[in-house]
Amino acid sequence: MQASSLIVRKAVAGDAETIFRFTAGLIEDHLPGQPPWVSVEDIKINGFGSDPLFEALIAERDDQPIGFVSFFRGYAGWRGKPMGIVHALYVLPEERRSGAARTLMAGVARIALERGWIRIELFVEEGRPALSFYERIGMRDLHHRHLRLEGEALSNLARI
């Protein structure tokens, strides 16, 4: 595939259905059979409402969406600087290894530099093939454990 026919653009509210479809594909890649927890309406409100929680870029080839990346601003507390956190990156299976994922991440990198973000971070499950892709584009594996507090454990801790 020709990388030149690939374009990346900022997602708009009208892309909520596409983002939902790609999110469902990402969930299916990680947890086959698991229905999405998010809805198109959630995406519209959370990404394009009055207080957006994330931004997204859409990759298109021949005017057809083939992938997306979602990200948000975070804070690098030890450095006292803003940073970007990539939440999701997904490219349709038939478009993988076409340069789309690299181009999407390059778009986030440009935004980071424009906004003065010190770095971009993301989380990858151990053993996922995506880890080698991220290392190839220059990301460094910090070997940190990603921990989560939710559900009953979250409620129990909050009661202390």
Here the CATH number for the domain that contains residue 24 is 3.40.630.30
What does the pLDDT read at residue 1?
A: 42
CB 55, CB 15: distance < 8 Å: no
Does the reported pTM lie above 0.85?
yes
Among 60, 55, 91, which residue's Cα sits nearest to residue 74? 55
Give the gyration radius of the chain's Cα atoms.
17
Tell me the C-alpha distance between 115 and 93, whole Å: 32
Sequence-distant (≥ 6) Cβ neighbours of residue 144 within 8 angstroms: none
Question: Could you tell me the sign of the dihedral formed by the alpha carbons of 23, 44, 100, 5, in that order?
Answer: positive
Sequence-distant (≥ 6) Cβ neighbours of residue 153 within 8 angstroms: none
Give residue for tokens 């991220």: 134
Tens digits of residue pLDDT in 92-151: 999 999 999 999 999 999 999 999 999 999 998 887 888 888 999 999 888 887 878 899
Q: Does 2 score more than 60 pLDDT?
A: no
What does the pLDDT read at residue 122?
A: 94
The residue with greater pLDDT, 55 or 130, is 55
The total domain count for the chain is: 1
Express the helix, strand and coil content of the chain in percent, nearest 5 each.
Answer: 40, 25, 35
Domain range for 122: 3-158
- Find the helix or strand (DSSP H, E) in which 18 lies: helix 16-30
